[in-house]
Amino acid sequence: MKAVIFDLDGVLVDTAKYHYLAWKKLAAELGVNLTEKENERLKGVSRMDSLKIILSLGGLTFSEAEMNRLADRKNSWFVEYIDQMKPEEIFDGVFPLLNALREAGVSIALASSSKNAAAVLKNLLLENTFDTVVDGTMIKESKPDPEIFLKAADNLGVAPNECIVVEDAEAGVEAARRAGMKAVGIGHTEQLGEAELVVDHISKLSYNRLKSL
Ligand code: BG6
Ligand code: MG
């Protein structure tokens, strides 16, 4: 284990909730009831891919210009939520884990499909915490494509099989596996069963637990 690559939304902080609330509001306007179960498919994928999933749930088709407008509308609500965020919202257990990894000489990376990741990191005062950050503005394909994790490993100069990914999204666990990395799921085995280890909260992870993988 030379590096641990962390997802952001739903792993370090509960921004997954804000994505869900904003998508649910947009879906409702379109006459689609977005349930928490269906929302699992939206986690980790790009903004446009998320919108396309919602439109397919409702059997709806829109022009590209209309889809851009809808995605912008969702994003404006999401940005209102994250503008209010404070460092206290970082999940318990995050700093002890990051510090233990650092002390052991393990690199730490952040890899988020979100184009808002830089703003979230800034509001949480985490902008200088990671050895490398790869976000939605830096990749061509979002999760479940492995590009984001491979880019993070490349930036760190480590091989994919020396990395462990920490993810709350099914698409993220798949991306890790396709990158040739081990994955730890934060959530339920129902969605994240392909991961090497699934825990319900990041506070359950320790340096030793990750190393034992
Ligand atoms: C991921 C979230 O981190 O970022 C997804 O899990 C979200 O739910 C994606 O759709 C893209 O985020 P943004 O901020 O670019 O719309
Ligand atoms: Mg996530």
Which ligand has an atom closest to residue 172 CA? 2
| Residue 164 confidence (pLDDT) | 98
| Residue 155 confidence (pLDDT) | 98
| Residue 195 confidence (pLDDT) | 98
What structural domains does the chain harbor?
Answer: 3-12+90-211 (3.40.50.1000), 16-82 (1.10.150.240)
> Ligand 1: does its nearest atom lie under 6 Å from the Cβ of 169?
yes
Q: 193, exposed or middle or buried, with CB in 10 Å at 0-12, 13-18, 19+?
A: exposed
Give me 108's structure tokens: 């730490």
Give me 183's structure tokens: 């994955």
| Residue 142 confidence (pLDDT) | 94
| Residue 10 confidence (pLDDT) | 97
- CB atoms under 10 Å from CB of 67, counted, come to 16
| Residue 205 confidence (pLDDT) | 98
User: Which residue positions in the chain have pLDDT lower than 70?
Assistant: none
Closest CA to 110 of 181, 6, 1: 6
| Residue 185 confidence (pLDDT) | 98
Which ligand has an atom closest to residue 117 CA? 1
> Ligand 1: does its nearest atom lie under 6 Å from the Cβ of 39?
no
> Ligand 1: does its nearest atom lie under 6 Å from the Cβ of 15?
no
> Ligand 1: does its nearest atom lie under 6 Å from the Cβ of 112?
yes
Q: How far, in Å, from the CA of 21 to the mean position of ligand 1? A: 13
Q: 91, exposed or middle or buried, with CB in 10 Å at 0-12, 13-18, 19+?
A: middle
Our mutation pick for probing the ligand 1 site, out of 7, 23, 24, 45, counting the most ligand atoms within 8 A of Cβ, is 45
Instruction: Tell which atom from ligand 1 comes closest to the C-alpha of 71.
Output: 16
User: Looking at ligand 1, which residue's alpha carbon is closest to its atom 1?
Assistant: 44
Give me 21's structure tokens: 């609330």
Which letter does DSSP use for residue 7 in this model?
-
| Residue 120 confidence (pLDDT) | 98
Indicate the SS3 state at residue 186.
strand
> Ligand 1: does its nearest atom lie under 6 Å from the Cβ of 172?
no
pTM: 0.97
Alpha helices in 58-93 (DSSP H): 64-83
| Residue 70 confidence (pLDDT) | 98
